[in-house]
């Protein structure tokens, strides 16, 4: 999606520091953090919202949660919140599915 900011980050058209990357997802810091730790876990596949998930995408979304677990261990976070905003009326601003990983621990 040429006009999608997260696709541009994935394609490295917009510079961003990846904290983690594998074949399915990337992790980077939210540009406007609302917690001491505020990461975005983003699938490489452009899925606009949870409402647009297709057959097989459950594996990708599940992978994002597994990735959060991995990041939590790596960063030594004792606890965190995971949030997915769904649709404009669900507070979503960037229409490329992502998990917010938020914690007041660093
Ligand atoms: P949402 O409201 O769930 O769509 O959240 C989108 C999030 O993306 C917001 O918390 C923004 O601060 C964040 N964001 C937007 N553009 C960028 C960017 N270029 N790099 C990092 N985070 C971004
Ligand atoms: Zn995208």
pLDDT tens track for 43-75 = 999 999 999 999 999 999 999 999 999 999 999
DSSP state of 43: E
Q: What percent of the chain has pLDDT over 70?
A: 99
CA distance 59 to 57: 5
**pLDDT of residue 1 exceeding 70:** no
Domain coverage including residue 50: 5-103
From the alpha carbon of 9, which atom of ligand 1 is closest? 19
Q: Where does residue 51 rank: exposed (0-12), middle (13-18), buried (19+ CB within 10 A)?
A: exposed
Pocket test of ligand 1: the residue of 8, 40, 95 to mutate, having most ligand atoms within 8 Å of its CB, is: 40
Per-residue pLDDT band at 35 (split at 50, 70, 90): very high
Whether 47 contacts 57, CB under 8 Å: yes
CATH number of the domain residue 68 falls in: 3.30.428.10
Pocket test of ligand 1: the residue of 12, 32, 86 to mutate, having most ligand atoms within 8 Å of its CB, is: 32
Which residue CA neighbors atom 20 of ligand 1 most closely?
A: 31
CA distance 38 to 14: 19
Residues that are catalytic:
98
Number of independent structural domains in the chain: 1
């Amino acid at each position: 999606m040429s006009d999608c900011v997260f696709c541009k980050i994935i394609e490295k058209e917009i510079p961003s520091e990846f904290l983690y990357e594998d074949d399915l997802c990337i992790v980077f810091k939210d540009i406007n953090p609302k917690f001491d730790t505020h990461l975005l876990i983003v699938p490489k596949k452009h899925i606009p919202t949870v409402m647009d998930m297709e057959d097989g995408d459950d594996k990708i979304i599940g992978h994002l949660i597994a990735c959060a677990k991995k990041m939590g261990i790596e960063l030594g976070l004792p606890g965190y919140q995971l949030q997915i905003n769904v649709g404009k009326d669900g507070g979503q601003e960037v229409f490329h599915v992502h998990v917010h990983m938020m914690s007041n621990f660093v």
